[in-house]
Amino acid sequence: MKAIVVHQCGGPEQLHYQEATTPVAGPGQARVKISHAGVNFIDIYFRMGLYKADLPMIVGMEASGIVESVGEGVTEVAVGDRVAYAGPRGSYAEYAVVPAWQLVKVPAGVSDSLAAAAMLQGMTAHYLTHSTFPLQQGHTCLVHAAAGGAGQCIVQMAKRRGARIIATVGTPAKAELAREAGADEVILYDEVDFAAETRRLTEGKGVDVVYDSVGASTFLKSLDSLRPRGMMVTFGNASGPVPAVEPLLLNAKGSLFLTRPTLAHHIATREELLWRAGDVLSWIANGDLKLSIHHTYPLSDARQAQEDLAARKTTGKLLLAV
DSSP string, 153-166: HHHHHHHHTT-EEE
pLDDT value of residue 316: 77
pLDDT value of residue 183: 98
pLDDT value of residue 157: 98
Backbone angles phi, psi at 187, to 5 degrees: -115, 130
**Total residue count of the chain as it appears in this document:** 322
pTM (2 decimals)?
0.93
pLDDT value of residue 292: 87
Residue 69 clears pLDDT 80, i.e. is over it: yes
pLDDT value of residue 237: 85
pLDDT level of residue 60 (50, 70, 90 thresholds): very high
pLDDT value of residue 308: 94
pLDDT value of residue 172: 95
Cβ(261)–Cβ(127) under 8 Å?
A: yes
Report the alpha-carbon distance of residue 292 to residue 130 in Å, rounded: 22
Report the alpha-carbon distance of residue 29 to residue 66 in Å, rounded: 14
Cβ(151)–Cβ(284) under 8 Å?
A: no
Delimiting residues of CATH 3.40.50.720 domain(s) in the chain = 136-260
pLDDT, tens only, 268-314: 999 999 999 999 999 999 999 999 899 999 999 999 999 999 987 77
**Beta 2-6 vs 57-58: how paired, if at all?**
antiparallel
Q: Is 81 exposed, middle or buried (0-12, 13-18, 19+ CB in 10 A)?
A: middle
Delimiting residues of CATH 3.90.180.10 domain(s) in the chain = 2-120+264-321
Amino acid at 74: V
pLDDT value of residue 272: 98
pLDDT value of residue 313: 74
pLDDT value of residue 158: 98
Amino acid at 179: R
pLDDT, tens only, 117-159: 999 999 999 999 999 999 999 999 999 999 988 999 999 999 9
Under DSSP, the state recorded for 97 is E
What's 136-260's CATH class?
alpha beta
Report the alpha-carbon distance of residue 203 to residue 197 in Å, rounded: 10
How high is the mean pLDDT of the chain? 96
pLDDT, tens only, 187-242: 999 899 999 999 999 999 999 999 999 999 999 999 999 999 999 999 998 888 89
pLDDT level of residue 176 (50, 70, 90 thresholds): very high
Close Cβ partners of 43 (under 8 Å, ≥ 6 residues apart): 59, 60, 61, 92, 306
pLDDT value of residue 79: 98
What's 2-120+264-321's CATH class?
alpha beta
